[in-house]
A and B are shown apart, each in its own frame.
Chain A
Amino acid sequence: MDAAEICVIVLRTLQVGCVATAAILVPGIALGWLLARERFAGRMLLQTIVCLPMVLPPVAVGLLLLVTLSRGSALGGLIERVFGAPIVLTWWAAAIAAAVMSLPLVVLGAQQGFLAVPRRLEQVAATLGASPLRVFFCVSLPLAARSIAYGTLFAFARSLGEFGATTLVAGNIPGQTETLALAIYARIEQFEDQEALLLSAVSIVLALLITGAAELCLRRHRR
């Protein structure tokens, strides 16, 4: 296994993680705000559904995704008609699996962040004439930003290491859908322990770099 091959795997892992995290950031914040600030029928059900990927076995989530995205399904068929190719067994499918598995972390981080924002500040902002959108963007969101940032960081880390759901919907196609987690598992299956250990070490370095950089950014922001 040469450096170029490792690079391809690392870049694919980062690509899947970035796309998955970017895709869930806005809906995750919106869901977190909704669950923290609004009282509506079905709120408990929504909270449960949001948390399901954390509770269910990842392969079960993968199976549900496979059923939902396969060519025979309505959504899978629609995607194939629009993009001219099935989405299953592509790196996009890996990103979707990672997004679904990581979404609860962004939602819960945002929810806790918004719950920690004193209502009084939002009320004062409203009495000062601010629209609900301005209250959200100028008061609630900045004050919940730290929790959201940590939730997003964990979601990104989770998506980098996603395995169970990804392996079902994206398979393990070298150079195409092979992320670090999938590559390590494949090497172990093939009794290539040294390569598996090398990729594990790369994973550790990657995780340290990402969490270290994020922590530095958050500290700077705190000051």
Chain B
Amino acid sequence: MNAFDLHARYPGFVLAASATWHESCVALFGASGSGKSTIVEAIAGLRADVRGTVSLGGQRLDGLPSRRRGIGWVPQDAALFPHRSVLDNLRFAARPGDADLLARVVDALELSPLLARRPAQLSGGERQRVALGRALAARPRALLLDEPLAALDRPLRARLVPFLQRIRTTFDVPMLIVSHDPLEVMALARHVIVLEAGRVVAEGDPREVLAAHEALGSLRGLAAENVFDVSVVGEVHDGIVLVTTPHGVRLAVVHAKGFGLPRRVAITAEDIVLSTTAPSDISAQNVLAGVVQGTRASGAQVVVNVSVDGELFVVRVTAKAAQRLGLVKGRAAHLIVKAHAVLAVE
């Protein structure tokens, strides 16, 4: 069993959060300032000003110094040691005689080409992979990932998500992921703890909790995300695999070699381009013909529901574009989605 019950008082902010979970991968979800990072740092033993209890794997950790907690903490900025090469960063964490583990980490996170480089010579995604590897090399009892993808743009995030999924399966390390991105939460976590203003306001299965929370209006736009359970059809070809939704809509999804085949895909409403005429000679691999089911205003944007062979897609366009395209119920619409924009979830 894993649990925390943490309390702290700061000017203008009170933390009073407690949660219990049994799942191996849990997400702390909430807006900026909701207390996510404070909780993670308290679990890692880095916040002396936070009182309360922390248990991971049934063992009480509060009262232990951070170096004895066995927590693999990966902060948002990766915090690699700038004066050490990637290999030396990994070696810093590894125990003597852990060469096998180090080799497995390097292999799983595909770090071989980076080993001789300094952190300043790495891209954002590479830095995060090295930070993950360094945390794993210390044989942690749990990984705490503080917004691991926040500093990356969406294509890079999509590339890093499979690595996180691989870590979960290859190393069998429980993970606690801090995120304010519902897609990340759904892609990675099996249990979500929703925080608001320092309090836990909901927890449970990510899809149910996040959808229910959206109904309360506190997570605007979350229901607009497109998440489908899928089955793989055909073989991987040129790094692309075809999947089909329960209603038979086929989607091309990027598939990295060595990773598991997708069982669920997610597409953000903003990543879908909408056209009222059938596009031709287009580079995007997914062009889906559908019919507009309805629209509703959402701030400066318009949320458009489009049915494709009975599968409902949610698209966001600007109000100006919606007006120009004349998007009304019954209007034919073509959805254009790059394979890279489809986030494959294990």
Q: Which residues of chain A from 102 to 159 have any CB-CB distance to chain B below 8 Å in the complex?
A: 118, 120-121, 123-131, 138-139, 142-143
User: Are A126 and B65 CB-contacts (below 8 A) given A142-B83, A143-B83?
Assistant: yes
Q: Which residues of A contact B92 (CB under 8 A)?
A: 125, 128, 130, 138
CB closest chain-A residue, reference B82: A143
Q: Which residues of A contact B70 (CB under 8 A)?
A: 129
Contact residue among B69, B77, B83 (Cβ-Cβ distance under 8 Å from A127): B69
Q: How many residues of B contact A (CB 8 A)?
A: 24
Q: Which residues of chain B from 72 to 106 have any CB-CB distance to chain A below 8 Å in the complex?
A: 72-73, 75, 77, 79, 81-83, 92-93, 95
Please determine whether A120 and B138 come into contact, CB atoms closer than 8 angstroms.
Answer: no
Q: Which residues of B contact A139 (CB under 8 A)?
A: 81
Q: Which residues of B contact A118 (CB under 8 A)?
A: 79
CB closest chain-A residue, reference B46: A123
Interface centre among A121, A126, A131 (most CB of B within 10 A): A126
CB closest chain-A residue, reference B75: A120
Please determine whether A127 and B82 come into contact, CB atoms closer than 8 angstroms.
Answer: no
Interface status of B67 (Cβ within 8 A of chain A): yes
Interface status of B333 (Cβ within 8 A of chain A): no
Contact residue among A121, A128, A131 (Cβ-Cβ distance under 8 Å from B135): A128
CB closest chain-B residue, reference A139: B81
CB closest chain-B residue, reference A132: B67
Binary per-residue interface labels of chain A (60-80) against chain B in the complex, 1 for a CB within 8 Å, 0 otherwise? 000000000000000000000
The interface of chain B, by Cβ under 8 A from chain A, is 44-46, 65-73, 75, 77, 79, 81-83, 92-93, 95, 134-135, 138
Closest 10 CB pairs of A and B: A128-B93, A127-B73, A126-B66, A124-B79, A128-B138, A120-B79, A126-B67, A142-B83, A127-B66, A123-B46
12 contacts between A and B (CB under 8 A): A121-B82, A124-B75, A124-B79, A125-B81, A126-B67, A127-B44, A127-B73, A128-B93, A138-B81, A138-B92, A142-B83, A143-B83
